Amino acid sequence: MKTVLLGVSASISAYKAADLISQLKKHDLNVEVIMTQNSTKIIPPLTLQVLSKNSVHLDVMTEAVPTDINHIDLVKRADLFIIAPATANIIGKIANGIADDMLSTTALAVHDMPLLIAPAMNTYMYAHPAVQANLERLQRFGYNIIEPKISLLACGDYGKGALADVDQIVATILTTLNLNKKEEQD
């Protein structure tokens, strides 16, 4: 069974992580979830724990198993790393090597696997040159960007910045893991 390491940051669309996990589980994928502290104010970790059937990882300083280094061991068990939704904050942290929480620390330990990031933020934030420069930098680091869609945003603005549809994110994950061909044969 393949393992998807899913990072959830504090976009209003964090609630969509529940649907994303449910869809990935239907494709027989194991999902390990890392949440930022602020994302837990949008969707409770318990929801994602119940759906993923795995503990949700919140604090880099908490080691559930004393012999493990959690953020390193999560990476070693994963086949794909994705952050969905990815806020301007987490994008900036990773692009600039800042590791000050569980998600950013784990992201900097990721290597030798597909990297996906699905931005979700206000359209003006998304278009800001700093965010665009950080996304370009992440692409140079090997991340594939799942482009946000144009939509009416939670703040009332209309434009590019809404999290891509969950179906699109799932399809990208399946394609990246080469799982679509298996399903077509079944």
Let me know if 10 is exposed, middle or buried by CB neighbors in 10 A (0-12, 13-18, 19+): buried
**CA–CA distance, 135 with 120 (Å, rounded to integer):** 12
**Distance in angstroms (rounded) separating the CA atoms of residues 147 and 164:** 6
Catalytic annotation present for 82: no
17 beta partners? none
Choice among 69, 72, 154, 155 that is catalytic: 155
- Bridge partners of 32? 5
- What distance in Å separates the CA atoms of residue 115 and residue 146, rounded to the nearest whole number? 11
Q: Which residues are annotated as catalytic?
A: 155
